[in-house]
Amino acid sequence: MKKEARLPQLDALRGLAALSVFLGHAFGMMPQTPKLLQHIQFTPLHFFYDGAAAVLLFFVLSGFVLNLKYVSSQKNPPHWVSAFIIRRIFRIYPAFLIAVVLGLLLKEFVYDASAMAPFSDWFSKFWKNSLVPTEFLRMLTLVGPNIQSDKLDPPMWSLVYEMRISLFFPLIIFMINRRRRLAGDMCLMAVAYAVCFFLCRKGSFIYLPHFMLGAMCAKHFDTLRSVLSKMNRLKKTVWLAIALLLYEAASMGPAWSSTAFHVNYITDQIIGLGAASLILGCASFVKIETLLSRGIFQFIGRTSYSFYLVHFMLLFAPAPAIYRATHSYAITWLSTLALAYGISCLIFELIEMPMIKQGNKFSKLFSTHFPPKASKII
């Protein structure tokens, strides 16, 4: 079975994860947690607004998608590493830079500190301090030291890890795609978990196992999908239930809340396993594939990257002004959501797509051996 260059249902899954990030940040605006959320906060229903787990899903999904086409290649062409990095730069930076400009404009001309009084201390703190020039320049690189994105757009922190690990991802591809049995791959993952636990506590590679796990799932995707697709309804339901429980490992109870590194690290890896299981389920179960391939899910999938970048800044401004005029969180969130998707659609059509095409063209200067459809995955 030949692996597809692109799986539309995974675009939709990324879009749903981005939407859960929005809901988590939107609920975070409130000074007190509503009773309804208090009842579901430590249950699997937290899935719908668990932004922290969603970011880990992004990492696993990136590893999966980025490696998928290389698994199906008999041999990597000359200069493929340069081509890979060029496409990643053109994929990540243009929309990121547009979001930075938008954030600066909103902070300078729309943001009103006095309008933040009704909201939680956690939410109100982010734009109180200004970025100094050196901090701003470091942030623009996405790979520089001591990047502080919380003074402009807090979700950008994940792009730092995404870009830094992207620079080393060809090495991951080389290591994982070598011919070895599943037992050998499991040993490799165990080594990665151990190395990152002992050596990467404060470094950029703390999330490396998530990218590796995704890449490993891509390597064995044909076999895994063949097994999963043949399951009966009960087994599929059990698979998704276990995946959801793993994905919500950090929310199963207050006892999991901890500042200890080892607890957080182990919990993050459990969440990563849950994310990988959800990805495999969405890519293998026909009914879920069909549902996620529909128009609305594809729309939120296509716009998910830009939406992820701009939504939090729009909650800072103009959302507080909307709330002051309506005194309704529901109206504020719905208005901000509509505005965020509108802006994201424009960025996707005018910036993301043209820059992806330019990245593909530019990368051909280094390699001309990838089939055209395969380049769309990055």
Phi, psi for residue 33 in degrees, rounded to 5: -70, 125
Looking at per-residue pLDDT, the higher value among 253 and 242 belongs to 242
Q: Model pTM?
A: 0.93
Q: How confident is the model at residue 372 (pLDDT cuts 50, 70, 90)?
A: very low
pLDDT at site 374: 42
Please check whether residue 229 is in contact with residue 285, taking contact to mean a CB–CB distance below 8 angstroms.
Answer: yes
pLDDT at site 183: 87
- Share of residues in the chain with pLDDT > 90 (%): 72
**DSSP-derived secondary structure letter, 286:** H
Distances (CA, A) of 141 to 96, 138, 159, 189, 299: 10, 5, 10, 30, 29
pLDDT at site 365: 72
Q: Hey, what are 327's tokens?
A: 């005194």
Return the H-helix or E-strand segment holding 265: helix 261-284
pLDDT at site 43: 80
From CA 271, how far away is CA 292, in angstroms rounded? 22
Please check whether residue 112 is in contact with residue 121, taking contact to mean a CB–CB distance below 8 angstroms.
Answer: no
From CA 251, how far away is CA 246, in angstroms rounded? 10
From CA 29, how far away is CA 123, in angstroms rounded? 5
Within the chain, what is the greatest distance between any pair of CA atoms? Answer: 62
pLDDT at site 376: 44
pLDDT one-digit tens code per residue, 38-52:
888 888 888 999 999
From CA 80, how far away is CA 51, in angstroms rounded? 34
pLDDT one-digit tens code per residue, 185-238:
999 999 999 999 998 877 778 999 999 999 999 999 999 999 999 999 999 999
Q: How confident is the model at residue 2 (pLDDT cuts 50, 70, 90)?
A: very low
Amino acid letter, 313: M
Q: How confident is the model at residue 256 (pLDDT cuts 50, 70, 90)?
A: low
